[in-house]
Amino acid sequence: MSDHPNPVHPAGVDPAMVTAVLHGGPASLTAEQRRRLVAPEQRKIKIPWLGGYEHFERDLVTGVDHGAAVVFQWTARTRVAE
């Protein structure tokens, strides 16, 4: 089982969701953690990571037809407020 909050699971996938690929940010994010399902209109992704949050914003669409992946580019890291 994966540690991240939004894993991509082939079985039972909501057809309205699209695949997002996260570019940039911490090198310690695995390939699995960089792929997730999001709503088609989603513009930002914030994921908890090592005592803070990594922020990604929608960049561009790659691929064609049903195989398209939405690319989110890393924009910033914030720390968890204490």
Average pLDDT, the chain: 80
Model pLDDT, residue 54: 97
**Which of the two residues, 43 and 15, has the higher pLDDT score?**
43
Q: Tell me the C-alpha distance between 76 and 69, whole Å.
A: 21
Q: What counts of helices (H) and strands (E) characterise the chain? A: 0, 5
- The answer to whether the predicted template modeling score (pTM) of the entire model surpasses 0.85 is no
Q: Tell me the C-alpha distance between 51 and 49, whole Å.
A: 6
Model pLDDT, residue 79: 92
Q: What is the pLDDT of residues 35-72, one digit of tens each?
A: 999 998 899 999 999 999 999 999 865 554 445 688 99
Structure token pair of residue 46: 């914030």
